[in-house]
Structure 1
Amino acid sequence: MQLHVIDSRQDWRSWQSRGRQALQVLAAFAGGLAMLFLVLEQRPGGWWRIIDIAVGALACIALLFRRRAPITIGLILAVAAAFCATAGVANYVALFAVARHRRLEQAIMVALVDIVGSLGFWLLYPANSALSLTIVVNTAIALAVVAWGALQKTQQDLVVVYRDRAARIVRERELRAEQIQMAERARIARDMHDSVAHYISLIALYAGGLEVAGENAKNVSHTAATIRTTATSALSELRTVIGMLRDGTLVVPEETSRQRTVENLVDQARQAGQIVVAHLDRGVVQEKTAATDEVYRIVQEGLTNARKHAPGAMVTVNVHLDEADVVIAISNPVGDSAAILPGSGAGLVGLAERVSAIGGVLEHEIIDHGDGKIEFRLQGRVPA
C-alpha cells in the first residue's frame, strides 16, 4: 500500500512537470505572436510572416530540451531570434536556462550572442526603433535574465549545500549514537565476561573436589546443589551477554545487588574449596560508593585468575581505604600446576580500561622471591 502511494505521488509530480513545460512553451509562443502583431511597427509580411511564425513555433518546442543542452539551445534560439520575431521570447527563456544551469561566464557569452542577434533583427526591420534604443533595451533584458538565472542557481546551490549538511549531521548523529551504543554493549559484555568466568571457575572447583573425593565425598547433595545454583547464575549472566551482543536487549541477571559484594565473593570461593585469606575494611566493602562496583570486579577477577592458573594455592585479598582512594591487592603463589581453565587475557585488559576510565589504576605483575617462590600480584587503586 505504501509503495502504491509513493508511485502515485511520483506520477503526479511527473504530470505536474510536463504541464509546466507545456505552459512555458505556449506562453513563449504567445509572447512571440504578441511581439509580431502588437509590438512591432515594421513586421514581416507575405510568405516571410508564415516562415517567421513556423520558426517561432519550432523555437518554442526546442525549449523542451533546454535543460539537457542549455548552451546549444540558447545559441540556436539566439540566431533564430535575429531573423524571426516570434522566437524572441523563447530566446530569453533559453538564456535564463543557461544562467540557471551553467556557469555565469557561459551565460554572459550567450547573452552577447543575443545582443548581436538583436542588431541583426534591427538591420532587417530598422523602422521599429532607433539603433541606440535597440541596443539599450536588449542589453538590459539580457543582463536582467542572466542575473535572475544566476540568482536562482545560487539559491539552488545553497539549498543543496544545506540539505547535504543536514543529511551529514543526521548521519554523524546516528553514527555517534551507534558508537555510544556499541561502547555500552562492549562495556556490559566485558562485565558479563568477568562474571561468567567467575561462576565457571567456581563450578570447575566444585566438580574437581567431587572428582578427587570420589565415593568418600561428604555432603554430595549439598555440593551438587551448589554447583546447580552456580551454573544457574552463570547461565543468567551468559544470557545477558548474548542478548546485548545479538540485539541490544538487556536482560537483568538474577543476582541482586545485595549478593554482589566482596564478602560474598570471598564466601563463595571458600565454599568451593579455595583457600582465601581476606583482610577487608568493613567500611569500604559494606558501604555503597562510586568505587563499589570496580572493587567488586577487581576482587572477582583476582579470585578467578587464581582458580584458573593456581588451583589449590592460597589467595590473599586486601581491601582498605588509603586517604581518598580504595586500594585493592590480591596475590597468590604461582606453581608448576597446569591451569584448570584456559584464559584469553582479555579480562585484565578490559578491567584496566574500566578502572582507568574512572581515574583509577590497575596493575599486575609476577614477582620472583627466589628459591622457586613466584607470586602473582594484582593491585588496583580507585577513587572512593
Structure 2
Amino acid sequence: MRRKLTNWLVDAAFCLFAVVFSMLIADSVLPADLSATARAVEDTLWALACAAVFVRRRWPVALAVVLVLAGIWAHLLTGPTLVALFTVAAHRPPRVTAWVAAVALAPAPLVVVRQVLEPEPDRFARGVVFFFLILGSIGWGLYIRSRRQLIASLRERAERAAVDARRQAREDMAREMHDVLAHRLSLLSVHAGALEFHPGAPPAEVQRAAGVIRESAHQALQDLREVIGVLRRPENGERPQPVLTDLERLAAESRAAGMNVALDQRVGAPEEAPPVAGRTAYRIVQEGLTNARKHAADAPVTVTVSGGPGAGLTVEVCNPAPGGSQRGPIPGAGQGLIGLAERASLAGGRLEHRQAGDRFLLTAWLPWPG
C-alpha cells in the first residue's frame, strides 16, 4: 500500500528532529579524546539511525530495541531513539510499550550504582536527563495513542448515533404513515364493501357512498403527500400534528362513513392538553376506530376520554369483539397495536388491550403534568 504524502512529511519532520537534536548534544556527549576513526563510525551510525526513522511505521518495536542497544556504545543516537520509542508508544499496545520501556530503562540502576562507586556529577546528570527524555517520549506517545482512540471512539459513537437516528426516523415515518393511511383506507374499504354487498341500493345512497370513497381517497393522497414531503424536506419542520380537540372531527369522519361512534369527552379544557399527550391520544382513538371498522364495522363504538392536569389523560375505546360484522374482515398487518404501545411508551404512558366478554377494550394512560 502506498504511503500518504502526509506520512512522508511527518516522517521527514521526525528525521529532521533527530538530526537537529543529535547535533545539539554532540559537543556534550562525545568524548574529547575520540579518534578520527571512532568519530567516523559514530557519524555513520548516526546517519543510518536518522534514515531508519522512515521505516519506523513498519518495524517500530525492532527499530526501538536496536537503537536502544546501539545507544549503549554510540553517543549520537538519542534523537532517533526518542522518535522510535514515541512511535512504539503511539502505535503499539500498552503491553508491548511496557516491554520496550523496560529495555530502554534497564541501564538506569547501573548508572546509579556507577555514580555511587565512581562519582562523576556530569556523567550522572547526563544519564538522568537521558532517562527523563525516554520517559517523556513514551509518555507523549501514550498520550497521542489515547487521544487517537478517543477520537475514533467519538467518531464511532457519532456514526452509531446517526444510524440510530435514521432508523428512528424511518420507524416514526412508518408509524405515521400507518396511522394516517390505515384510517383513510379502512373508510374506503367499508364503503366499497357496502356497495358490493348492496348492489341494488338506492341511487342516493350509492352516490353518497361514492362521494365518501372519493373524498377518503383524495384525503389519503393528501396525507401521503404531506408525509413524504416532510421526508424529502426535513429542514422545513414536521407536518401539522393532531391535538386532543381534533377528536370531534375524527369521530365525525367515522360517523360520516356509517359507523356508530359515541364520543364521551370528559376533559374540561382539551385545548390545554400537552401536545404529546393530545397527539398520542388522537392516534390511539384513530387506530381504535380503524380496528373497529376492520372487525366490527356495523357495531357501536364508544370512545371515552377523561382526566386533566396532574391526573393524566385516560383514553378508552370499546367495541364488540371481532366476528360480529357481516362483511369480510379488512386485511391488516397486525402492527397497529404494537405501534400504539410504542407511542404510549415514548410519551411516558402505557397502553393495554384485552377482551372482556363480548367487548374489546383498548385503554391507555398518558401523563399530563399538573
The alpha-carbon distance between structure 1 residues 288 and 207, as it changes in their structure 2 partners (threshold 3 A), is: farther
Separation of aligned partners in 1, 2:69 and 2:147: 33
- 2:42 corresponds in structure 1 to 56
- 2:198 corresponds in structure 1 to 213
- 2:70 corresponds in structure 1 to 76
1:127-183 deviation per Cα after TM superposition (whole angstroms, max 9, x unaligned)? xxxx946x5543432232111121222133123323433443454355446535643
- Which of 22, 26, 46 is residue 31 of structure 1 equivalent to? 26
- 1:365 corresponds in structure 2 to 354
Contact 2:19–2:79 at 8 Å: present in 1 too?
no
Separation of aligned partners in 2, 1:215 and 1:270: 23
Question: Secondary structure in 1 aligned to 2:135?
Answer: helix
- Which of 319, 328, 343 is residue 332 of structure 1 equivalent to? 319
Query: What amino acid sits opposite 1:71 in the alignment?
Result: V
CA drift at 1:204: 0.7
- 1:104 corresponds in structure 2 to 101
Q: Percent identity?
A: 28
CA drift at 1:205: 1.1
Contact 2:347–2:366 at 8 Å: present in 1 too?
yes
Question: Secondary structure in 1 aligned to 2:355?
Answer: strand
1:287 and 2:282 aligned: no
Greater mean deviation of Cα atoms: 263-272 or 230-239: 230-239
- Which of 338, 342, 361 is residue 349 of structure 1 equivalent to? 338
Separation of aligned partners in 1, 2:137 and 2:285: 69
CA drift at 1:228: 2.6
Query: What amino acid sits opposite 1:155 in the alignment?
Result: W
1:4-38 deviation per Cα after TM superposition (whole angstroms, max 9, x unaligned)? xx97666655554554455567x28x9379946xx
CA drift at 1:376: 1.3
What is the Cα-based RMSD across aligned positions, in Å? 4.1
Contact 1:360–1:381 at 8 Å: present in 2 too?
yes
The alpha-carbon distance between structure 1 residues 152 and 311, as it changes in their structure 2 partners (threshold 3 A), is: same
The alpha-carbon distance between structure 1 residues 353 and 245, as it changes in their structure 2 partners (threshold 3 A), is: same
Separation of aligned partners in 2, 1:250 and 1:366: 43
Separation of aligned partners in 2, 1:259 and 1:358: 14
1:251-273 deviation per Cα after TM superposition (whole angstroms, max 9, x unaligned)? 855x7858971111121112112
Question: Secondary structure in 2 aligned to 1:345?
Answer: coil
Contact 1:203–1:231 at 8 Å: present in 2 too?
yes
Separation of aligned partners in 2, 1:23 and 1:236: 74
CA drift at 1:298: 2.1
Separation of aligned partners in 1, 2:245 and 2:213: 18
Instruction: Note the 1:153-192 alignment, pairs <5 A.
Output: 153-173=138-158, 175-176=160-161, 179=164, 182-183=167-168, 185-192=170-177
Separation of aligned partners in 2, 1:234 and 1:173: 37
Gaps of 5+ in 1: 1-5, 82-87, 120-130, 369-373
1:381 and 2:358 aligned: no
CA drift at 1:355: 2.4
The alpha-carbon distance between structure 1 residues 259 and 229, as it changes in their structure 2 partners (threshold 3 A), is: farther
CA drift at 1:347: 1.5
Q: TM-score, normalised by structure 1?
A: 0.71
The alpha-carbon distance between structure 1 residues 244 and 156, as it changes in their structure 2 partners (threshold 3 A), is: farther
CA drift at 1:236: 3.5
The alpha-carbon distance between structure 1 residues 132 and 78, as it changes in their structure 2 partners (threshold 3 A), is: same
Query: What amino acid sits opposite 1:381 in the alignment?
Result: W
Gaps of 5+ in 2: 89-96
- Which of 238, 254, 258 is residue 273 of structure 1 equivalent to? 258
1:171-214 deviation per Cα after TM superposition (whole angstroms, max 9, x unaligned)? 43554465356435534532331121111101111212232333
- 1:305 corresponds in structure 2 to 291
Separation of aligned partners in 1, 2:192 and 2:245: 23
Contact 1:99–1:146 at 8 Å: present in 2 too?
no
Query: What amino acid sits opposite 1:347 in the alignment?
Result: G
Question: Secondary structure in 2 aligned to 1:78?
Answer: coil
- 2:94 corresponds in structure 1 to none
The alpha-carbon distance between structure 1 residues 339 and 241, as it changes in their structure 2 partners (threshold 3 A), is: farther
Question: Secondary structure in 1 aligned to 2:259?
Answer: coil
Which of the two has higher C-alpha Rg?
1
Query: What amino acid sits opposite 1:316 in the alignment?
Result: T
Separation of aligned partners in 2, 1:149 and 1:33: 18
- Which of 218, 223, 227 is residue 237 of structure 1 equivalent to? 223
Separation of aligned partners in 1, 2:43 and 2:301: 100
Separation of aligned partners in 1, 2:324 and 2:212: 29
Matched residues, number: 340
